[in-house]
Chain A
Amino acid sequence: MKRYLFPVLQIIVVLGVILSFYSISWFGDSYRFRAEPYDPFSPVYGEYVMLQYPDLKPADSVKKGLVYVTFTTGSDGYAKIDRISNDRFFGSVAGDYYDKYVTIPQLNQYYVEQGTGKGYEDAKKLEVKADVSPWGTVRATDLSVRK
Chain B
Amino acid sequence: MARQTKLMEWQQAGLIDAETVDRIKAYEGHRQKKKRVPLLLIVGLTFVGLALLSFLAANWQAIPALIKIGLVLVIMVSCYVLADVSERRTIWNPVAFRILGLVAFAGALIVTVQSFHMSMQGSFIGWVVFLAALAHFFTWRHPAYAIVAFISGLNIFTGVGGFGTEYATFLDWTSIVLVVIVSLAWFYFSQSFPSLILSWLFLYLSGLELFALVSYDGVLWPIWTLFVLVPLLLVVKQDSDRHFLYHLYLIVAAINSLVYLTVRAETMDSVIPLGEAVALAVFGLAIGYLIYQKFRPLLWILPLGLFGFLWLDEQAILIAALVEIIAFVYLIEQERQGRRLTIPFVYFIAVQLTIYFIYAWDRLDMSLFFLVGALLVFLIAGVLWWIRKRREGGVPS
* Residues of chain A whose beta carbon lies under 8 Å from any beta carbon of chain B: 2-4, 6-7, 9-11, 13-14, 17-18, 21, 45-46, 66, 94-96, 105-106, 108-114, 139-141
Stretch with Cβ within 8 A of A (4 or more), from B110-118, B217-225, B350-358: B110-118
Task: Count how many pairs of residues, one from A and one from B, have CB atoms less than 8 Å apart in the complex.
Answer: 83
A-B contact pairs, 11 of them (CB 8 A): A6-B136, A7-B80, A10-B76, A13-B105, A17-B113, A46-B114, A66-B167, A109-B117, A109-B119, A113-B61, A113-B62
The residue from B61, B112, B139 contacting A114, defined by CB atoms under 8 A apart: B61
A residues in contact with B84, CB < 8 Å: 3-4
B residues in contact with A141, CB < 8 Å: 117
Find the A residue at minimum CB distance from B140: A2
The residue from B61, B69, B135, B166 contacting A14, defined by CB atoms under 8 A apart: B69
Q: B111-144 vs A: 1/0 string, CB under 8 Å?
A: 0111111111100000010001001100100000
Instruction: For the complex formed, measure the closest distance between the CB of B67 and the CB atoms of chain A, giving whole angstroms.
Output: 12
Q: B157-192 vs A: 1/0 string, CB under 8 Å?
A: 000010001110000000000000000000000000
B residues in contact with A95, CB < 8 Å: 167
Q: Are B121 and A105 within 8 A (Cβ)? A: yes
Find the B residue at minimum CB distance from A106: B119
Find the A residue at minimum CB distance from B58: A114
Q: Are A6 and B80 within 8 A (Cβ)? A: yes
Measured CA separation A111–B98 after assembly (Å): 30
Confirm or deny: B101 has a beta carbon within 8 angstroms of a beta carbon on chain A. yes
A residues in contact with B117, CB < 8 Å: 106, 109-111, 139-141
**Residue picked from B83, B105, B136, B165, most chain A C-beta under 10 Å:** B105
Known: A14-B112, A111-B117, A113-B61. A7 touches B76 (CB 8 A): yes
B residues in contact with A114, CB < 8 Å: 60-61
Confirm or deny: B87 has a beta carbon within 8 angstroms of a beta carbon on chain A. yes
Measured CA separation A2–B80 after assembly (Å): 11
The residue from A4, A108, A113 contacting B80, defined by CB atoms under 8 A apart: A4
The residue from A6, A46, A66, A109 contacting B101, defined by CB atoms under 8 A apart: A6
Instruction: For the complex formed, measure the closest distance between the CB of A121 and the CB atoms of chain B, giving whole angstroms.
Output: 17
Find the A residue at minimum CB distance from B77: A7
A residues in contact with B118, CB < 8 Å: 21, 106, 139
Instruction: For the complex formed, measure the closest distance between the CB of A33 and the CB atoms of chain B, giving whole angstroms.
Output: 13
